[in-house]
Amino acid sequence: EEAKSLNFLEHIIEDDLKTGFSKDKLRFRFPPEPNGYLHIGHASSICLNFGLGLRYGAPVNLRFDDTNPAKEEQEFVDAIKRDVEWLGYEWDTERYASDYFQQLYDWAVLLIKEGKAYVDSQSSEEMAKQKGSPTTEGSESPYRNRSVSENLELFEGMKAGKFEEGAHVLRAKIDMTSSNMLMRDPIMYRILHRAHHRTNTDWCIYPMYDWTHGESDYIEQVSHSFCTLEFAMHRELYNWFLDQVYDADKVRPKQREFARRNLSHTVVSKRKLAKLVEEGIVDGWDDPRMSTISGLRRRGYTPESIRNFADTIGIAKRDNLIDVSLLEFQIRDHLNKIAPRVHGVLDPLKLVITNYPENGEEWLDAENNPEDASAGSRKVPFSREIYIEKEDFREEANKKFFRLKLGKEVRLKNAYIIKAESCTKDTEGNIIEVQCTYDPKSKSGSGTEESLRKVKGTLHWVSIQHALKAEIRVYDRLFTDESPDTHKDKDFMEFINKDSLEVTTGYVEPHLKDAQMGDKVQFQRIGYFCVDPDTTSDRLVFNKTVGLRDSWAK
Ligand code: ATP
Ligand code: MG
Ligand code: MG
């Protein structure tokens, strides 16, 4: 038995199993609409549904909810499949709501014949007016009592393309006085003269979400259909539509709702993310600042870190905002275990070791990962001229400055203890070079008394003649506001952080010339970085994934 306690959706399943539902009839689905790329909110739904599949040994379908040809594209289908696979999940079958268009149509015809659906020929404004409000009853459409034969003829005409968009809709005949507005004769079909990414021009009427979703669950024999809270009010309609076609020998899908996950300092909505792409605020759906799965992947996130994030925040009954630092915690935790340590200098200052041989060079041992003994070690070149970070040197500083200052010592990680003797400035007074001496007996790992000598402060560095130049992309939050899309009087676009990308030139160890796209490293004392796909044979590009909370000096 797992130690982890059950979430409320698992309790619902457990109760069903206790009251006679057969375990081998459990089936789940993840139902994205292919109108954009998946985001971190979807990761919660993916981990929930596929996690349940693994827990109960039940199949999980990947179902594309593709009923709106105006917004859906094959590119998005492909991206969604790639992302679900990358997260580490395997679906049982790949399904499309569009595969059920004929079945849905046949059932709609049945509803017309039973007097439960009718063609309405009013404008959408007229229909909206008659809908009433939650506190007032709606009124019936003048077309509500059309005869079955007239309805059948019109509906067939709609399907055959005889009418313009908006000329007619098919509505379920339910109850214009219901306290649930969604039950006031909801629209089942609308005319759209648009090519669909899969059915092309076979159809010019398309089923609405409510009519499609539950029936698709039923066709696939999904036992538990979990969706986000905004569908809670739709549950009554989901059940009404199921009642019209349900056969008692079959599994009757059960819709239950959980809270949408929102992440701070970003937006998790395909529509809003699409706007950032369309307006060129970001570089595409996989821009490392995006909350998309593909953006996170390019940023250097691992599938494990995203799954752990989803697991840790769990499933909730109420909407709330999750701080992005929780996501950052997970990737930092994972990369700490797996990312090789390297020396990388982002803001270089030249340092000359005056007592080191003029053309001297040695290759020093450097441990790849103190958290992982199996990661082994590598050789790092050392020479007379090295780069250190500008901020690691000051002419004078107080006792709390454990870095390099004139007359004081520090250790160069994996190398020697050095002492700053003097520095050179340009005409504006900027320090452009530091002259040091080194203690030749203090080499790290040599076992000598000098090598074991404790000095406060250890710096990272690179040998200038060996270092590789690299483009370093450092990201900040894309929005200045914690919750940019929740302001009543301001659009989320008003909160864009104009300084969310900073590009600098850094210097890294030479072995990184063989780094492959997606490789992840820790630049010691700075943070975690990964190789960006823009990298070519003569241009190395790194993305900063996340900073280190603590330096390894502790
Ligand atoms: P978006 O507004 O981003 O398009 P959506 O809910 O319309 O979101 P779908 O493609 O329909 O997107 O979502 C597929 C599944 O993922 C649905 O079951 C949906 O409820 C769930 N989902 C979407 N966003 C979130 C979120 N932020 N948190 C948890 N689950 C989500
Ligand atoms: Mg949706
Ligand atoms: Mg949507």
Single out the residue of 84, 86, 95, 78 nearest to residue 45, CA to CA.
84
Structure token pair of residue 104: 């849905």
Residue 479 has pLDDT above 50, yes or no: yes
Per-residue pLDDT of 118-128, as tens digits, reads 999 999 999 99
* pLDDT at residue 548 in the model: 94
Ligand of minimum distance to the alpha carbon of 31? 1
Residue 182 has pLDDT above 80, yes or no: yes
Per-residue pLDDT of 426-477, as tens digits, reads 999 999 999 999 999 999 999 999 999 999 999 999 999 999 999 999 999 9
268 pocket-lining for ligand 1 (C-beta < 6 Å): yes
* pLDDT at residue 552 in the model: 39
Fold of 263-338: Glutamyl-tRNA Synthetase; domain 2 (1.10.1160)
Separation of CA 34 and ligand 3 centre (Å): 9
Architecture of domain 96-207: Alpha-Beta Complex (3.90)
Single out the residue of 365, 398, 396, 397 nearest to residue 379, CA to CA.
365
63 pocket-lining for ligand 1 (C-beta < 6 Å): no
Distance of alpha carbon 148 from alpha carbon 154, whole angstroms? 10
* pLDDT at residue 553 in the model: 38
Atom of ligand 1 nearest to the CA of 262: 27
Sorting pLDDT into bands at 50, 70 and 90, what band is 487? very high
Distance of alpha carbon 61 from alpha carbon 355, whole angstroms? 68
46 pocket-lining for ligand 1 (C-beta < 6 Å): no
Separation of CA 33 and ligand 2 centre (Å): 6
* pLDDT at residue 551 in the model: 37
Per-residue pLDDT of 65-106, as tens digits, reads 999 999 999 999 999 999 999 999 999 999 999 999 999 999
Distance of alpha carbon 212 from alpha carbon 452, whole angstroms? 71
Q: Which residues make Cβ contacts (< 8 Å) with residue 523, sequence separation at least 6? A: 342, 343, 344, 346, 460, 508, 529
Mean pLDDT of 166-182: 97
228 pocket-lining for ligand 1 (C-beta < 6 Å): yes
Pocket-testing residue among 228, 275, 324, ligand 1, by greatest number of atoms within 8 A of Cβ: 228
Residues 500 and 289: beta-carbon distance below 8 Å: yes
Atom of ligand 1 nearest to the CA of 228: 20
Helices (H), 382-487: 449-452
* pLDDT at residue 205 in the model: 98
Per-residue pLDDT of 229-287, as tens digits, reads 999 999 999 999 999 999 999 999 999 999 999 999 999 999 999 999 999 999 999 99
31 pocket-lining for ligand 1 (C-beta < 6 Å): yes
Atom of ligand 1 nearest to the CA of 39: 3
Distance of alpha carbon 131 from alpha carbon 414, whole angstroms? 74
Whether pTM exceeds 0.80: yes
Atom of ligand 1 nearest to the CA of 270: 3
Separation of CA 32 and ligand 2 centre (Å): 6
- Over its C-alpha atoms, the chain yields an Rg (Å, rounded) of 31
In CATH terms, 341-547 corresponds, of 2.70.70.10, 2.40.240.10, 1.20.1260.10, 3.30.590.20, to 2.40.240.10
Residue whose CA is at the smallest distance from ligand 1 atom 4: 270
Atom of ligand 1 nearest to the CA of 44: 29
Give phi and psi for 189, each to the nearest 5: -140, 145
Q: Where do the structural domains in the chain lie, given as residue ranges?
A: 96-207, 263-338, 341-547
Sorting pLDDT into bands at 50, 70 and 90, what band is 515? very high
Pocket-testing residue among 9, 30, 45, 311, ligand 1, by greatest number of atoms within 8 A of Cβ: 45
Separation of CA 64 and ligand 2 centre (Å): 10
Residue whose CA is at the smallest distance from ligand 1 atom 10: 32
Give the CA distances from residue 340 to residues 91, 279, 289, in Å, rounded to whole numbers and listed in that order.
33, 37, 24
Ligand of minimum distance to the alpha carbon of 38? 1
What is the DSSP-derived secondary structure letter of residue 66? -
Separation of CA 34 and ligand 2 centre (Å): 9
* pLDDT at residue 533 in the model: 97
Comparing 3-7, 297-301, 378-382, which segment has the lowest mean pLDDT?
3-7
Percentage with pLDDT > 90 across the chain: 96
Separation of CA 440 and ligand 3 centre (Å): 65
Pocket-testing residue among 28, 42, 210, 227, ligand 1, by greatest number of atoms within 8 A of Cβ: 42
Beta bridge partners of residue 475, listed in sequence order: 501
Question: Could you give the angle at the alpha carbon of 297 between the alpha carbons of 293 and 300, nearest 5°?
Answer: 140
Sorting pLDDT into bands at 50, 70 and 90, what band is 3? low
Mean pLDDT of 318-343: 96
Q: Which residues make Cβ contacts (< 8 Å) with residue 2, sequence separation at least 6? A: none
Q: Which residues make Cβ contacts (< 8 Å) with residue 482, sequence separation at least 6? A: 264, 265, 321
Separation of CA 42 and ligand 1 centre (Å): 5
Ligand of minimum distance to the alpha carbon of 322? 1
Query: Active-site residues: which are they?
Result: 33, 260, 270
ipTM of the modeled complex: 0.97
535 pocket-lining for ligand 1 (C-beta < 6 Å): no
What is the DSSP-derived secondary structure letter of residue 7? P
Residue whose CA is at the smallest distance from ligand 1 atom 13: 32
Ligand of minimum distance to the alpha carbon of 41? 1
Single out the residue of 160, 218, 225 nearest to residue 191, CA to CA.
160
Distance of alpha carbon 287 from alpha carbon 441, whole angstroms? 48
45 pocket-lining for ligand 1 (C-beta < 6 Å): yes
Distance of alpha carbon 77 from alpha carbon 91, whole angstroms? 14
Structure token pair of residue 384: 């007379």
Separation of CA 32 and ligand 1 centre (Å): 7
227 pocket-lining for ligand 1 (C-beta < 6 Å): yes
32 pocket-lining for ligand 1 (C-beta < 6 Å): yes
Residue 300 has pLDDT above 50, yes or no: yes
